[in-house]
Structure formats: C-alpha cells, structure tokens
Amino acid sequence: MIIGIPREIKNNEYRVGLLPVHCEALRRAGHTVLVEHHAGIGSGATDADYKAAGAKLVSNAWRADMVVKVKEPQPVEIHKMRPGQVVFTYFHFAADRQLFEDVLRSGSVAIAYETIQLPDGTLPLLTPMSEIAGRMAVHQGAKYLEEPMQGRGLLLAGVPGVAPAKVVIIGGGVVGANAAKMAAGLGADVTILEISLPRLRYLDDIMPPNVNTLFSDRHTIREQLRRADLVIGAVLIPGARAPHLVTAEDLTRMKPGAVIIDVCIDQGGCCETSRPTTHADPTYVVDGIVHYCVTNMPGAVGRTSTYALCNVTFPYVMRLATLGLEGACARDPGLVAAVNIHAGRITNRAVAETFGLPFTPFTPC
C-alpha cells in the first residue's frame, strides 16, 4: 500500500502522523511511504531522517491510498481527498458540520482516531492526547490566572499564609484525572465533578487529599463555579457534541478574572460561551471570564505529542496497510466503529445521531 504523511497545516500544529521509525517498519513490510517536505520538523524529525528510513519525500502526500495525519483535514486538504481513499486522523465531526459534509462529499473513508474503542469502552487513540491536554490545561490555567494575562492575579499554589487557587474540573476521565494530578501537585484546592459513580469512587481512592470529588448535577456545578478560580472543561460523550454545562448566565456569577480552559472544545465545548481558538490567539474574555478554547492543545508540544500519538496509532496503521480496510476491520470490531464515513454513508451511530441523518453500519466482508 502507498501511505501518505502530509505536513500538518493547522495553526501552530507541530505534530506529524508518523515518525521515521514507523516509515522504516512499513517499508520493511513492503509498503511505500510518501512524506511531505518538512512534515516532521516540529516533532524533531528532519527530511534526512525520513529519507534514511526509506520514505519518499514529496510535495503532495495526498495521492496515497491511505493518508495518516493528526488533525482534521483543512479545507485545502479536503479538495485533495478522493473516493475510496482511507484518511486516518482525528476528525471530531460532531463539532463541525461543515467538515462532516465536505468529507462525506469527498467519497473518502474517514476513520476517526477518537472513536476507536476497546472492548472495555476506553478510547485508546484519545488517551495519550487527553493525558497531555489535561496536564497542559493546568499550565495554561496557571498562566492565564496572572494579571497581565487578564486573570485574577492568583498563584495556583498559593504560599504559606495565603490560600491556593480553587480548581474545578468538570469531567473526571483522562483529561480530568491528569489535570487534577497536576493541579494537586502544585498545591491547588481541586474539585472534580463527574457523573459516573464508579469513576468517582476510583478517583476518590487514588487522588491526593487536596482533591475532592462531587457528583455532577446542575446545582453542584453552579455552586462550584461561583467559588472557582480556574475551571477545566473535560467532559466527553463519545462521538456526540459536548453538553453545555456552564451557561452564559453562570459566568455572571463567577469571580471576575477566573479562567475557563475548555479542553472539550474539540467536541463543541462544555461552556455555552466557548468558541474554538488557536495557539496564535488562544483566549478571549466574556463577562470578565478568560476563555481558553484551543482545539489542538497537544499540537504545541509536538515532540511529546507525536511520540505519544504514534505509540498508539502505529499498530492500527500497520494492520490497515497490511490487511487492507476490510481485513483490518474484520479482525477488530473497535476499528469498525471508528469508520465514521464509508462510500458516502455515515457509519458511526453517534455522528449520524448528532446530525439527525441515517446510520448505516459498516460491515466488513
């Protein structure tokens, strides 16, 4: 198979779909890998490294049978997609109807990293990026709480004799748990709101004493928002748009200069006033509350993120390349669910429900 690795063109995106080590393994397995010039620079891999690994350097990797990338195709890339071509990347369709419609029209096969599911319900290709985004959310929150950044002028950790900041995390999954560990490590006063009782029990067992857990309901969220200095939005309903758990009205009752890091913005965000931002211009202020809504947070730490991402994507890439789409899916029901679009049909139930369109299951022969 011919596998293409484009250079990511989303704003401040420094990750790349595969590293030279993976290109070498694919080449040894008899495949051809096309890598766009400078695709790996942000992750520390030079063109010479890819060449030495046996990849072919090209100006357009979209002529491949399968394209492996990181972020959702940008408009200029969608024009290069063609019927039957497999595109393996993060899509997050539920948050972007235009993207969904354009990809559907392209006739390509969209396999979305974020919807590959293991039998225990976990999302292995989302996990490493969520670990990174959760940890980064606390760095970013600490930075935007500073007064020159329009924040409340608070040090997350406090100092002896001065209280630490109060961090409220909505959603106690991978992002939430990683954010809680970081914030707790800095000495903040942390609360996690979650709807899953087993998850609340688990978090209660493993978290340090400065982390409290609360069941997430409307009253508790409202009460916690009033006290929060930093709010981290970390909910997920797989394949669906994030629910608006923080309303525009809630902001008026929050402390001026408080910060919301809406990590789940890639699924639409859990705050009504959230809208996607970029690393170039990451924040804006509504009713005195600083909003940070960058959709590709891990993109800013390309070296860490690319290695963490490829560790989990590469086994799927190798199987898709070697067995083909049908063969790889026949062996792995978790991959079948991740085929979001196939032959102009919507093959992921949650995506179909989000847009109120018919769902057609993908059944590998």
Ligand X SMILES: NC(=O)c1ccc[n+]([C@@H]2O[C@H](COP(=O)([O-])OP(=O)(O)OC[C@H]3O[C@@H](n4cnc5c(N)ncnc54)[C@H](O)[C@@H]3O)[C@@H](O)[C@H]2O)c1
Binding site for ligand X (CB under 6 A): 114, 126, 129-130, 133, 170-176, 193-196, 199, 216, 234-237, 242-243, 245, 263-267, 294-298
Smallest distance, Å, CB 323 to ligand X? 28
Is 266 considered catalytic here? yes
DSSP element (H, E) containing 169: strand 166-170
CB 246, min distance to ligand X, A: 11
Q: How many whole angstroms from its chain centre is CA 31?
A: 29
- Report how far residue 278's alpha carbon sits from residue 282's, in angstroms, rounded to the nearest whole number: 5
Beta bridge partners of 132: none
What is d(CA 91, CA 99) in angstroms, rounded to the nearest whole number?
Answer: 8
Which is closer to ligand X, CB of 31 or CB of 181? 181
Using a 10 angstrom Cβ sphere, with 0-12 exposed, 13-18 middle and 19 or more buried, the burial of residue 220 is middle
In angstroms, how far is the first alpha carbon of the chain from the final one?
19
Q: Is the separation of the CB atoms in 56 and 83 below 8 Å?
A: no
Output the smallest distance, CB 147 to ligand X, in A: 25
Which residue, among 236, 251, 92, 116, has the nearest Cα to 176 in the 3D structure? Answer: 236
Determine which one of 22, 92, 291, 342 is catalytic. 92
CA–CA separation, 172 and 213 (whole Å): 9
Cα 325 to chain centroid distance, Å, stands at: 24
Cβ closest to ligand X, residue 295 vs residue 313: 295
Closest residue to ligand X, based on beta-carbon distance: 173
- Per DSSP (E only), the strands in 74-176 are 86-89, 109-112, 166-170
Catalytic residue among 266, 291, 332, 342: 266
> Measured at the alpha carbon of residue 193, what is the angle toward residues 192 and 195, in degrees to the nearest 5?
135
> Nearest approach, Cβ of 248 to ligand X (angstroms)?
18
Sign of CA dihedral 203, 138, 219, 194: negative
Cβ(236)–Cβ(176) under 8 Å? Answer: no
Choice between 85 and 191, CB closer to ligand X: 191
Q: From the CB of 299, what's the least distance to ligand X, in Å? A: 7
In the bound state with ligand X, the residue whose beta carbon lies nearer, of 39 and 94, is 94
Residue reference for tokens 């600490």: 142
d(CA 306, CA 287): 37
Active site residue 92: yes
Rounded least distance, CB 249 to ligand X, Å:
17
Residue 345 pairs in a beta bridge with: 342
Phi, psi (rounded to 5 degrees) for 251? -60, -35
Rank residues 135 and 342 by Cβ distance to ligand X and give the closer one. 135
Is the CB of 80 or the CB of 349 nearer to ligand X? 349
Q: Which is nearer to ligand X, 4 or 13 (CB)?
A: 13
State the nearest-atom distance from the C-beta of 23 to ligand X, in Å: 25
Q: Active-site residue numbers? A: 92, 266
